[in-house]
Amino acid sequence: MLASPTRTIPALLQSQRDFFATGKTLDRAFRLQQLERLQTAIVENQEKIVAAVQTDLGRAPFEAYFEIATLTEIKLAIKQLKNWMKPRKIATSADVFPASAWVQPEPLGVALIIGPWNYPFQLMMSPLVGAIAAGNCAILKPSEYAPSMSKVVTDLVESIFEPDYVAVVEGDAATSQELLAQKFDHIFFTGGTEIGRIVMQAAAKHLTPVTLELGGKSPCFVDGSVRLDYAAKRIAWGKFINAGQTCIAPDYLLVEASIKDEFVVQLKKAIGELYGENPAASPDYARIVNQRQLDRLKPLLASGKVIVGGEVNEGDRYLAPTVLDEVNWGDAVMESEIFGPILPIMTYNNLDVAIAQVKQRPKPLALYIFSKSQEYQTQITTAISSGGVCINDTVMQVAVSNLPFGGVGDSGTGSYHGKASFDTFSHYRSFLKRSIRFDLDWRYAPYNESRFKILKKMVTGK
């Protein structure tokens, strides 16, 4: 298949609108065919995908392979698409008797999907799976900060899809601004909160619905009831995969004061087990994506006291897995999402006070709790709102394909994964169908006392 010919963004968008208007995407067989083609292309290009992630982010092949997890989403969509597309019957009330009602999912039209640089393939393709399954056309904008992956995405998409159906537009921030100036039927953005605000403002001009997958400072509570060695290793892994450049990485720890010293021992041990005494030499430890991000992270090392890591090698874009002790809420590292391999530890003696501190800040994307106590877990989850919750582990909540993933408040709006992806890119259209065989006249003028009594009984039940 030939690559997309050069054309302006408005022309590309119009060509997709024209294709959508043909009705071809309404057919389930068509959607399944496109999903299967995408699945085959990912399998055939998996080595290129892994290599691109290694080039852009220095990730180990094992972590780079996380990008291929989109295959799980595709398999689920193929298996469940028939059920997802079925109309859903709705019970009717006496005032419309006799009648039937149902809700039927319909595609929105043309979607814009703007991807991030930290998981540059998975977080571009997973929303695309939902857009295709729901019957939409799509324009993809990969991140310019992951140029190797941007090229892989472009080549892959152009090899299997006509640009009138699914297309890729590469470019920098100016390209994103031009795309956002157009009227789409849905915009799906993954990235930082500040850019998310810009996306939402642009969408508001056209009343375009948006899904914003953002981030935030995801807290991680640890109490003394849990196995500290297990907790430490799961926290270290979730924090330091991809050198901390993960939107749902635990951002900071709130550790019960009485176990803090022992927990720090276990955390240091866990980091050593993962990356050795010199993480810079570990083949399993990633790098910061670019100098700009490294420059943003370096000043945060001055917050509190470095008890693990802290080393920086600018030429290699290396920032060691770092743990900060003696951190306060007012320190720079606590002002915004870290999005890097720096883990602050704070302690608490009173859980209610710790919870109150967290609640003073924007709602996080993830909330982590390590405890055996159901009461402790419930106390935290009841008090603190978050996009999602993971108890006694980190990050693995995204591995459950049927579990909707998304933020709340500053951490995002809307969700996806599994059926939630299908729902995100669908309009659930309501239908009411009434019988024309006879007509009850209770609602028609001229109104009288008898008809008023019937209406009153329908509304109040009396």
Enzyme catalytic residues: 213, 247
Which DSSP symbol is given to 248?
T
**Side chain identity, residue 53:** V
Cα(234)–Cα(282) distance, integer angstroms: 19
The three-state secondary structure class of 132 is helix
Which DSSP symbol is given to 241?
G
**Residues in Cβ contact with 38 at an 8 Å cutoff, skipping those fewer than 6 apart:** 74, 125, 128, 129, 132, 160
Identify whether 147 is preceded by a cis peptide bond (ω within 30 of 0): no
Q: Residue 388: beta bridge partners?
A: 366
Cα(85)–Cα(429) distance, integer angstroms: 12
Cα(284)–Cα(141) distance, integer angstroms: 29
Cα(404)–Cα(218) distance, integer angstroms: 17
Which DSSP symbol is given to 368?
E
Enter the tokens of residue 60.
Answer: 């180990």
Which residue has tokens 């169908």? 433
Among 246, 244, 129, 113, residue whose Cα is nearest residue 185:
113
Contact status, residue 78 vs residue 35, Cβ threshold 8 Å:
yes
Q: How many CA atoms lie within 13 A of 402 on its CB side?
A: 4
Backbone angles phi, psi at 406, to 5 degrees: 180, 170
Identify whether 446 is preceded by a cis peptide bond (ω within 30 of 0): yes
Cα(216)–Cα(386) distance, integer angstroms: 10
